[in-house]
Amino acid sequence: MADGCYLLVGASGDIGRAIHSGLEGEKVISVSRSRVPEFESEHHFLDLSRPISEDEVRAITAGTDVIDGLIWAPGTELFGMFQDTSLEALDAQYNLSVRSLIIFIKEVLPKLKSSKSGRIIVITSVWGSVGASFESIYSTMKGAQNTLVKSLAKELAATEVTVNAIAPGVVEGSMTQALSDEDLAAVLSELPQQRLIEPSEIGSLTTFLLKGETRSINGEILNINGGWYT
């Protein structure tokens, strides 16, 4: 993976920052709503919760002919009763997790096919496989991502491009830091390892999947949840 070019979407979140750190020394094109100051990568601002256009994605990748990896890491959880979900919130979740992802893959795929080891890695969630009460919309979008990964992996199996997902459990970061001590203790009591997933664990698995030696790992939903759900 030396001297590769990687498109990292959702670079400013806890997981995105960890992935970016693991790509030190590589060429990284980062996309997010805010720039991470400690990273010197080429950066593009884009709000993925609105309907983005194909032209916007083309402009981001116009400066390179070959992209070795597309890493998709944006995501915002949506808590609440299913029947209370507004159409605005529904559209934002769909745009962020499904529509924007599809547009990016469509536009970047020819550049990935030009690589000797093109990789598409989507950061999904444990809820995409098992579902979560009071997070039905979020779980639905993550489930859609998982299905896209499996389907596209089959479609591209004869090429050098692989498609995989990483599905974390409860991750240490801004969302869990907002929990009260009581709520955090309740979460930890359900986890077999009695600890949260570190973003660096997701970053390390991402870096591994980007290697050329992983070309037979394809169409997988790789769980990182400490045995919480298997």
User: What is the residue-level pLDDT of the chain in tens, covering all 230 positions?
Assistant: 668 999 999 999 999 999 999 999 999 999 998 877 778 789 999 999 999 999 999 999 999 999 999 999 998 888 899 999 999 999 999 999 999 999 999 999 999 999 999 999 999 999 999 988 888 999 999 999 999 999 999 999 999 999 999 999 999 988 788 778 898 899 899 999 999 999 999 999 999 999 999 999 999 999 999 999 98
Predicted pLDDT at 77: 84
Pairing of strands 27-32, 42-45: parallel
Radius of gyration of the chain (CA): 17
What domains lie within the chain, and their CATH numbers? 5-171+199-224 (3.40.50.720)
CA 142/CA 63 separation, integer angstroms: 31
Give the largest CA-CA distance in the chain.
51
DSSP assigned state of 197: B
Active-site choice (6, 94, 138, 229): 138
Task: Burial-class residue 49 by CB neighbours within 10 Å (0-12, 13-18, 19+).
Answer: buried
94 catalytically annotated: no
Nearest partner of 206 among 2, 3, 15, 60, judged by Cα:
15
- Checking phi first, is residue 202 left (phi over 0); if not, alpha (psi -120 to 50) or beta? alpha
* Under 8 Å between Cβ of 135 and 91: no
Predicted pLDDT at 85: 94
* Under 8 Å between Cβ of 138 and 125: yes
Predicted pLDDT at 75: 86
Q: Which residue type, as a one-letter code, is found at position 13?
A: G
Predicted pLDDT at 1: 64
Residue identified by tokens 């896209």 is 148
Predicted pLDDT at 39: 83
* Under 8 Å between Cβ of 169 and 224: yes
The CB-side HSE value for 2 (13 A sphere, CA atoms) comes to: 0
* Under 8 Å between Cβ of 121 and 209: yes
Q: For residue range 112-133, what is the model confidence (pLDDT) as tens digits?
A: 999 999 999 999 999 999 988 8
